[in-house]
Amino acid sequence: MTRTRHPLVRRLPATEPAWIRETDAVVIGTGAAGLAAACRLADADVRVAVITKGTLGDGSTAWAQGGLAAVVSGRDSLAQHVEDTLTAGAGLCDAQAVRELVSSAPAAVERLIELGAAFDRDGSGALDLGLEGGHHARRIIHAGGDASGAEVSRVLAGAVWSAVAAGRIEATEHTYALDALLASPSRSAAPRAAGAVCGVRVIDSDGVVGEWRARAVVLATGGIGQLWATTTNPSTSTGDGLALAVRAGAAVRDLEFMQFHPTILAVPHASANDRGRGVLISEAVRGEGAVLVDADGNRVMAGVHPLADLAPRDVVSATMQHYLVEHDLDHLYLDGTHLGAAMWEQHFPSILAMCRDRGIDPVTEPVPVRPAAHYHCGGVVADLDGRTSVRGLFAVGEAACTGVQGANRLASNSITEALVAGDRCGQLLARRLPPRRRPAVAATGGAFVPAAARAMINRSATRNAGLLRDADSMVAMLDQLAGTERICGTPTPADLEATNLHTVGTLVATAALRRTESRGCHRRLDHTRPRPSWLRHLTMIMTAAGTLEETAEGAGLAGIQRDEDAA
């Protein structure tokens, strides 16, 4: 049994809705996952509302540099891509989900190309494939050298805007999803049956509370990187979807597995546009031959792993962090000076520009780097079609935990997953929408964590739940979070994000304390090795009292899949 000592916020405070609208499906989030789902739903003439708290096409997707992993070359094989994914996942991947992802990936790339994606090509016109850590073959499809995510966002957002113009999608920007609308329990429901979701309460761009009522709610809200003070993630990645899902009663899984990217530019934020987001130096730079060194030029990864600088991320980041602590250093260096100006200019123009903007020239000097929070392998328990343990609630992309990423994501598998799962979820809902349900009366008012607490939450996560953690640090974090002030009143979006980050921080620390081993990207200083008894997932739900409880692995999802198959 895993329990938090202090109750979490059960509902975000909100006034009565000033407006109520009805549709068939609401997609929350417009990164790759949400846009892919929305496109598929619009193609099938399902009425769909798409909302984002930013602008259409924002989120981590737009910042991705390396690209998308897919087997598109005769020199590669699906079996090798599966094997590389399973190896990186350190025993916690769902092999069937991985096989489905890998075999669907080439079609997902093809679909983007049909929509107009201009991926980089070699002299013969074939896709120019990059290499990244943990991959045993060149299989990373990229665009604009290192602007791959921007291209994915561009084509998918373009397709969605076209559907909006044709009246097939309703899209609203600057609209913040607060909480799911929970359905009134049906008379036939078993007493302990998980609930159902029938819409979402939002704050619209005028600051007005409204309700979208829908047969399906698709969470595509991305990751949680903003929990940490240093992250590659944009300001939108505040774990809102994870917190919303847990408040709706959904099971969440493997939250302790936060991947830290090894190479974030280690200079103080020089640009006001960064908004807490660190500058990432893509792994593809190491794929082309750059190496990690200390100030004296000693190779950091030599002899550590057969793939050296291209070892899986968890290995590289943890090795760097140990090196930094052992030698009392602030950062290491990525040396790509031998790659030459042409390579930097042609393959990594955005990274080159971002470094030069901050006073570093990678062509002539090693780039100071350190690891930072990057990708959440855990999330809302879901299958690759997006079904969660709560009826009517679906989760896709980084917000979901489908078993594809295991204890450590293989580089460039996440956009691929977002596209495949978003598309499959759209197809599932186009085939069969859940029944329309009546919402139960939702509470209004309530307490929230003020935005002023966010700096403390960030500091605590960075100090206590960083790359290297132990029981003492997790307990310290849980104590700090439990002692966080809560206030009543009318929250701003910044207060709501702080409240969600508080919930997410408690979830992550609880899971990281519970898993007494080191595996994948979860590294404990007090339990330094994997333990066979932990070769399993850690799945949790929130109780009605706002505490966390460990629950069975499937946590109701298998039952929902069975019912649907039987229907």
Region of 78 please: left (phi>0), alpha (psi -120 to 50) or beta: alpha
Residue 54 found at the interface with ligand FAD (CB under 6 A) = yes
Of 510, 509, 497, the closest CA to residue 550 belongs to 510
Q: Are 381 and 389 in contact (CB under 8 A)?
A: yes
Q: Are 242 and 215 in contact (CB under 8 A)?
A: no
For residue 126, count other CB atoms closer than 10 A to its CB.
Answer: 10
Of 66, 199, 40, the closest CA to residue 141 belongs to 66
Residue 59 found at the interface with ligand FAD (CB under 6 A) = yes
For residues 267 and 475, which CB has a smaller minimum distance to ligand FAD in the complex? 267
Would residue 454 show up in a list of annotated catalytic residues for this protein? Answer: no
Residue 221 found at the interface with ligand FAD (CB under 6 A) = yes
Residue 100 found at the interface with ligand FAD (CB under 6 A) = no
Residue 33 found at the interface with ligand FAD (CB under 6 A) = yes
Residue 149 found at the interface with ligand FAD (CB under 6 A) = yes
- Total residues contacting ligand FAD by CB under 6 A comes to 45
Question: With CB under 6 A as the contact rule, which of the stretches 52-60, 186-194, 326-334, 529-537 interacts with ligand FAD?
Answer: 52-60
Residue 65 found at the interface with ligand FAD (CB under 6 A) = yes
- Residue 176 class from Cβ within 10 Å (0-12 exposed, 13-18 middle, 19+ buried)? buried
∠439-443-447 over CA atoms, to 5°?
145
Q: Are 180 and 217 in contact (CB under 8 A)?
A: yes
Q: How far apart are CA 548 and CA 3, in angstroms?
A: 5
For residues 301 and 396, which CB has a smaller minimum distance to ligand FAD in the complex? 396
Task: Give me 35's structure tokens.
Answer: 């846009």
Question: With CB under 6 A as the contact rule, which of the stretches 55-63, 289-297, 518-526, 548-556 interacts with ligand FAD?
Answer: 55-63
Question: With CB under 6 A as the contact rule, which of the stretches 54-62, 75-83, 436-444, 451-459 interacts with ligand FAD?
Answer: 54-62
Question: With CB under 6 A as the contact rule, which of the stretches 110-118, 221-229, 340-348, 541-549 interacts with ligand FAD?
Answer: 221-229
Please state the closest distance from residue 410 (CB atom) to ligand FAD, in A: 9
Residue 52 found at the interface with ligand FAD (CB under 6 A) = yes
Annotated catalytic residue: which of 99, 154, 201, 313? 313
For residues 80 and 235, which CB has a smaller minimum distance to ligand FAD in the complex? 235
Question: With CB under 6 A as the contact rule, which of the stretches 236-244, 430-438, 464-472, 519-527 interacts with ligand FAD?
Answer: 236-244
Question: With CB under 6 A as the contact rule, which of the stretches 45-53, 249-257, 428-436, 465-473 interacts with ligand FAD?
Answer: 45-53
Please state the closest distance from residue 364 (CB atom) to ligand FAD, in A: 24
Residue from the set 53, 154, 313, 437 that interacts with ligand FAD by CB under 6 A: 53
Residue 473 found at the interface with ligand FAD (CB under 6 A) = no
> What is the per-residue burial (b if ≥16 Cβ within 10 Å, else e) of 505-541?
bbbbbbbbbbbebbbbbbbbeebeebeeebeebbbbb
Residue from the set 13, 17, 29, 366 that interacts with ligand FAD by CB under 6 A: 29
Residue from the set 4, 85, 226, 233 that interacts with ligand FAD by CB under 6 A: 233
Q: Are 295 and 333 in contact (CB under 8 A)?
A: yes
Residue nearest ligand FAD by beta-carbon distance = 31
Residue type, 516: T
For residue 123, count other CB atoms closer than 10 A to its CB.
Answer: 6
Please state the closest distance from residue 157 (CB atom) to ligand FAD, in A: 10
Residue 176 found at the interface with ligand FAD (CB under 6 A) = yes
Q: How far apart are CA 246 and CA 195, in angstroms?
A: 12
- Residue 289 class from Cβ within 10 Å (0-12 exposed, 13-18 middle, 19+ buried)? middle
∠366-372-377 over CA atoms, to 5°?
130
Residue 280 found at the interface with ligand FAD (CB under 6 A) = yes
Q: How far apart are CA 362 and CA 347, in angstroms?
A: 13
| Three-state secondary structure call for residue 146 | coil
From residue 124 to residue 143, what is the string marking binding to ligand FAD with x (rule CB under 6 A)?
--------------------
Residue 398 found at the interface with ligand FAD (CB under 6 A) = yes
| Three-state secondary structure call for residue 234 | coil
Q: How far apart are CA 119 and CA 112, in angstroms?
A: 9
Please state the closest distance from residue 240 (CB atom) to ligand FAD, in A: 3
Residue 112 found at the interface with ligand FAD (CB under 6 A) = no
Q: How far apart are CA 194 and CA 183, in angstroms?
A: 11
Residue from the set 12, 13, 24, 34 that interacts with ligand FAD by CB under 6 A: 34
Region of 547 please: left (phi>0), alpha (psi -120 to 50) or beta: beta
For residues 219 and 542, which CB has a smaller minimum distance to ligand FAD in the complex? 219
| Three-state secondary structure call for residue 267 | coil
Question: Footprint of ligand FAD on this chain (CB under 6 A)?
Answer: 28-34, 51-54, 58-61, 63-68, 148-149, 176-177, 220-223, 232-233, 236-237, 240-241, 280, 375, 397-399, 412-415, 418
Q: Annotated active-site positions, please?
A: 313
